[in-house]
Amino acid sequence: MPEPARLGTLLPHRRPTPVADLPVAKPGECPEHPGNNATFCSPCASERKAANPNARAEMRAERVRQDCDRRFPRRFRDAQADHPGVLAWIDQAVADPDNAPSLLLLGPVGTGKTHQAYGALRALAPEVTGREWIATTSPDLFASLRPRPGADMEADFARYRQASILLVDDLGAAKNTEWVEEITYRLIDGRYLDMRPSIFTTNSTPAELRDHLGDRIASRLAQICTPIVLDGPDRRRTSAA
């Protein structure tokens, strides 16, 4: 009986690469591409990008989510929008962030406007590229812009005007003066012209808002905002914390 063919004779012989022929990466060098810095190796970055074309957008979105965790007021850190109208606004805005409408949440004290506003901001912020998002209250916004020695009010104003998303809580709550009216007009008109989405909350009715802010601002808000009225009892009086 003939001896069975030995495996070694059936497979083509491959000479192992001598260890001395392998490129050796120095500390800090990319092991795949010696000579390149391990952290910023551009062939590796291109390979990663080719494997997942959305990698950059996903990393950016993750950074924005972490920024929300860090900068949201503690009470609203975990706020999730759950109002059907707000959820519909989020769907529309996320589907087309470049043309996202603004959101105007109206209603009496304690009905959850600020909660819905932060929930909406958290949902939309990772989708919108551009400058940072800003969340503030209308009294804080005006306080931060008051002329004071050493402050560059126009530079501060530009941050609000150019923010990728601006949340202004309690619109119409600041004491009305000619200066407040002028800043409000410049801010809303500037964002209106650039078509940047904002999220506003207010305790005022639309008629009170028009009386307080004036016709020109109210007209722009009417064009760019999806208005949603929240009602029901004051949630602070019906919840424990």
Ligand X SMILES: Nc1ncnc2c1ncn2[C@@H]1O[C@H](COP(=O)(O)OP(=O)(O)OP(=O)(O)O)[C@@H](O)[C@H]1O
Of the listed pieces 12-20, 34-42, 102-110, 190-198, which binds ligand X according to CB under 6 A?
Answer: 102-110
**Binder of ligand X out of 90, 97, 115, 125 (CB under 6 A):** 115
Is there binding between residue 92 and ligand X (CB under 6 A)? no
> Phi/psi of residue 103, each to 5°?
-125, 130
CB of 175 to Mg ion, least distance (A): 18
Neighbour count for residue 236 (Cβ, 10 Å): 11
CB of 174 to Mg ion, least distance (A): 14
Where is 198: in which H helix or E strand?
Answer: strand 198-202
CB nearer to ligand X: pick between 25 and 87: 87
The tokens describing 13, both together, are: 């012989």
CB of 132 to Mg ion, least distance (A): 22
**Binder of ligand X out of 112, 126, 172, 197 (CB under 6 A):** 112
The tokens describing 83, both together, are: 């109002």
What does DSSP say about strands 225-229 and 102-106: parallel, antiparallel, or unpaired?
A: parallel
CB of 230 to ligand X, least distance (A): 6
C-alpha distances (whole Å) from 11 to each of 5, 6, 14, 72 are: 11, 9, 9, 64
CB nearer to ligand X: pick between 144 and 203: 203
CB of 113 to Mg ion, least distance (A): 5
CB nearer to ligand X: pick between 36 and 118: 118
Of the listed pieces 12-20, 86-94, 107-115, 212-220, which binds ligand X according to CB under 6 A?
Answer: 107-115
Is there binding between residue 208 and ligand X (CB under 6 A)? no
How many angstroms separate the most distant Cα atoms in the chain?
Answer: 109
Q: Identify which of 12, 8, 197 has the alpha carbon closest to the alpha carbon of residue 120.
A: 197
> Closest-CB residue for ligand X?
112
With a CB cutoff of 8 Å and minimum separation 6, the contacts of 38 are 25, 28, 29, 30, 31
Neighbour count for residue 38 (Cβ, 10 Å): 16
Q: Identify which of 117, 235, 223 has the alpha carbon closest to the alpha carbon of residue 169.
A: 117
CB nearer to ligand X: pick between 162 and 204: 204
Binding footprint of ligand X on the chain (CB under 6 A): 75, 82, 107, 109-115, 201, 203, 235-236, 239
